[in-house]
Homo-oligomer: A and B are copies of this chain.
Amino acid sequence: MGDASQRRTSRASSGGPVSELGEFGVIDRIVAGRPQPDGTLLGPGDDAAVVAAPDGRVVATVDTLVQGVHFRLDWSAPEQVGRKAVAANLADVAAMGAVPTGLLLSLACPASTSTDVVEGLAAGIWDAASEVGVGVVGGDTVSADQIVVTITALGDLEGREPVRRSGAKVGHVVAVCGVLGWSAAGMEVLRRGFRSPLAMVAAHRTPRPPIAAGPIAARAGASAMIDTSDGLLADLAHVAEASRVRIDIRSELVPVADKLRDVASALGGDALRWALTGGEDHSLVACFPDEDAVPEGWTVFADCRLGIGVTVDADRWGGAGDPGWRHWR
């Protein structure tokens, strides 16, 4: 490796271990001096936070990243891990058609963890949060044998019904907003010891889901929505099952970027396979009643038919052995 992220990680050890700061010192490093948006009615420092929920309902989701499972600090800088953790959560809020309103962070880490790693994680989390106008409103810090980053995201539906996985109907079209397969390609690049193309590596280290596109799709009448966390096929299978439809993907319409094809050629990979099965892009996939309803920036690549499940060009893809990413498997 020896890339920028590793140098950053090595340099980070100059900050001393978190054991020197103690619990409250660590919390201070995470939240002190960070401006909170208006929607944070009571930020960190009390028993709990208070966040505006103007809709009278609150959208809530939690995601956990574990060192050695979801990230490696020799592949990603702490800032990138922080960003990635937030991206996964915000994409879940966006996939309901909601607007993010706040984040809570639980950070478990060994006593020997460099304070610079904690500050890096916090910086990445805050950067990603600030981009969508929310704050880290509260959290917890505890000791553990490995770094475990758990983020809870809250959101507001702005008076709309949540866009569930179950609303797609036969005849609806399926569209994607965001990249497909880039994170998988980036992981393969890093696994082989390369550091470019940068776009793929960055997509793996710090996916940038199109958060604002979620509420836009909801306003446009999306009937079902999900984010691609386990891979397009695996995630669409959830939509197909919940909606009782068969989603047929037309492979020539799946947006496969030229850069993805280049990486696939160089590494002997399959670009379409990455696009269909690669996880962790956290792009948004939504069903719409018809093509006219699909907002700008979305690409239609499938439609909903009679049946249940996901097919590619009317054939079932890969069978049961290819369900995308699963834990403990």
Interface size class of A (residues with CB under 8 A): 35 or more
By a CB distance below 8 angstroms, the chain B residues around A104 are 60-62, 152
By a CB distance below 8 angstroms, the chain B residues around A157 are 50
By a CB distance below 8 angstroms, the chain B residues around A145 are 68, 145-146
A59 within 8 A of B: yes
B58 touches A55 (CB 8 A): no
Q: How far is B162's CA from A61's CA once the two chains are assembled, in angstroms?
A: 23
A49 within 8 A of B: yes
Known: A19-B328, A64-B142. 8 other contacts (CB 8 A): A41-B162, A47-B91, A48-B155, A51-B58, A60-B104, A64-B148, A106-B106, A150-B150
Contact indicator per residue, chain A 137-164, by CB within 8 Å of chain B (1) or not (0)? 1111111111010101111010000101
A42 within 8 A of B: yes
A61 touches B48 (CB 8 A): yes
A66 touches B96 (CB 8 A): no
A57 touches B48 (CB 8 A): no
A312 within 8 A of B: no
A23 touches B162 (CB 8 A): no
CB distance from A43 to the nearest CB of B (A): 11
By a CB distance below 8 angstroms, the chain B residues around A242 are 45-46
B64 touches A108 (CB 8 A): yes
CB distance from A192 to the nearest CB of B (A): 24
B22 touches A140 (CB 8 A): no
Q: Which of A48, A63, A326 has the most CB of B within 10 A?
A: A48
A172 within 8 A of B: no
B49 touches A57 (CB 8 A): no
By a CB distance below 8 angstroms, the chain B residues around A105 are 62
Instruction: Identify which of B19, B42, B57, B141 contacts A50 (C-beta below 8 A).
Output: B57
By a beta-carbon cutoff of 8 Å, the part of chain A in contact with chain B is 17-19, 21-24, 26, 41-42, 45-66, 68-70, 91-93, 95-96, 98, 102, 104-106, 108, 111, 137-146, 148, 150, 152-155, 157, 162, 164-165, 225-227, 242, 326-329
By a CB distance below 8 angstroms, the chain B residues around A62 are 104-106, 138-140, 150, 152
CB distance from A79 to the nearest CB of B (A): 21
CB distance from A178 to the nearest CB of B (A): 14
By a CB distance below 8 angstroms, the chain B residues around A146 are 144-146
By a CB distance below 8 angstroms, the chain B residues around A162 are 41-42, 46, 48, 50
By a CB distance below 8 angstroms, the chain B residues around A139 are 62
A112's nearest neighbour on chain B, judged by CB, is B328
A142 touches B70 (CB 8 A): yes
By a CB distance below 8 angstroms, the chain B residues around A92 are 47-48
CB distance from A119 to the nearest CB of B (A): 15
By a CB distance below 8 angstroms, the chain B residues around A152 are 60, 62, 104, 152
B58 touches A154 (CB 8 A): yes
